């Protein structure tokens, strides 16, 4: 059994409350959608196995609370993230304007090694409500370009539009980071007994 090392990708979804973070995750993992809104408390995760370039990858998707008062878990779950998904509602301008602060928040809390090249993906959700739209595709795309060419998808968790494609891109970008990390890991500490140097009589 020559199995490759298991790959775990940690993905974190951020965005204002009510933009559809939980719905997107549920649509992708469980293929379900519910119109009822229930605020996420703290954070929860779902896992999904998928194939990326012939490798089996386990994606651990963390759905977070958009409302600050529910963020009770602290920042521990940010640690070791491989990709961050920023979600906004194309029908609410404020949620788009807040993307900047969500991105900054993530970079501060997660403290990735290389913040400039850390993989983000932006999702403009709820495009099924087309007639209420206030944020144009052009505006969103230019914001993404200005932040270092962040991939941008317009999705609908309700109608399952672009959800699969978006998460494929998320996985692909996350795995790039994971692969890249193989190289710079510093050498660990050896705990096997090493030959102790002969004691010199002098202290220190």
Partner 1 sequence: MNSNKKDVYQWFRSTIPQQRISIGSVNEKVWKFYDYGPKDITPLVFISSGTSEIHYKQFVSLCPKGYRCISIQFSPYDTIQGWCRGFDRFLDRLELDKVHLFGSSLGGYLAQCYYQQKPSRVLSMILNNTFSDTQYYHDNSSCSAMFSILPEFMLKRIILSNFPQGLLDADIAETVDFMVDQIENLSQEELASRLTLNCSPSGVINPSVGLENITIIDSLDATSVPERLREEVYKYYPQAKIALLKTGGDFCYISRSDELNVHIQVHLRQYGLDPVNNISNSNNNNSNSNSSNGDGNHSFEIESKGKSIKESDIIQ
Which of 161, 181, 170 is closest to 61 using CA atoms? 170
Nearer to partner 1, 6 or 138 (CB): 6
Which of 47, 13, 26, 55 is closest to 178 using CA atoms? 55
Nearer to partner 1, 45 or 147 (CB): 45
Nearer to partner 1, 59 or 123 (CB): 59
Longest dimension (CA), the chain: 85
CA 122/CA 96 separation, integer angstroms: 10
How many other C-beta atoms can be found within 10 angstroms of the C-beta atom of residue 7? 17
Nearer to partner 1, 33 or 70 (CB): 70
**Residues in touch with partner 1 (CB under 8 A):** 5-6, 8, 10, 41-45, 47, 58, 60, 70, 72-74, 76-77, 79-80, 111, 187-192
What lies within 8 Å, CB to CB, of 73 at 6+ separation is 42, 43
What lies within 8 Å, CB to CB, of 90 at 6+ separation is 96, 124, 125, 126, 127, 129, 133, 134, 135, 140, 154
Q: Smallest gap, in angstroms, from Cβ of residue 133 to partner 1?
A: 34
CA 90/CA 66 separation, integer angstroms: 16
Nearer to partner 1, 73 or 161 (CB): 73
Nearer to partner 1, 47 or 145 (CB): 47
Q: Smallest gap, in angstroms, from Cβ of residue 88 to partner 1?
A: 25
Q: Smallest gap, in angstroms, from Cβ of residue 30 to partner 1?
A: 13
Q: Smallest gap, in angstroms, from Cβ of residue 55 to partner 1?
A: 14
Q: Smallest gap, in angstroms, from Cβ of residue 32 to partner 1?
A: 17
Q: Smallest gap, in angstroms, from Cβ of residue 162 to partner 1?
A: 27
For 65-125, where are the E strands, in sequence order?
83-89, 120-125
């Amino acid at each position: 059994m020559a199995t490759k090392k298991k790959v775990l990708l940690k993905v974190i979804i951020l965005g204002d409350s009510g933009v559809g973070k939980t719905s997107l995750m549920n649509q992708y993992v469980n293929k379900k959608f519910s119109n009822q809104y229930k605020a996420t408390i703290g954070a929860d995760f779902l896992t999904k196995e998928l194939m990326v370039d012939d490798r089996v990858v386990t994606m651990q998707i963390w759905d977070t609370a958009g409302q600050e008062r529910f963020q009770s878990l602290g920042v521990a779950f940010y640690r070791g993230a491989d990709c961050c998904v920023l979600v906004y509602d194309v029908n609410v301008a404020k949620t788009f304007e807040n993307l900047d602060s969500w991105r900054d928040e993530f970079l501060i809390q997660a403290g990735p090694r290389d913040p400039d090249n850390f993989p983000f993906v932006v999702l403009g959700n709820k495009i099924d409500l087309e007639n209420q739209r206030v944020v144009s595709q052009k505006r969103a795309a230019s914001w993404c370009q200005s932040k270092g060419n962040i991939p941008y998808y317009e999705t609908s968790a309700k109608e399952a539009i672009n959800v699969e494609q978006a998460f494929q891109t998320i996985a692909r970008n996350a795995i790039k980071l994971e692969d890249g990390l193989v190289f710079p890991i510093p050498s660990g500490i050896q705990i096997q007994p090493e030959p102790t140097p002969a004691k010199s009589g002098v202290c220190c």
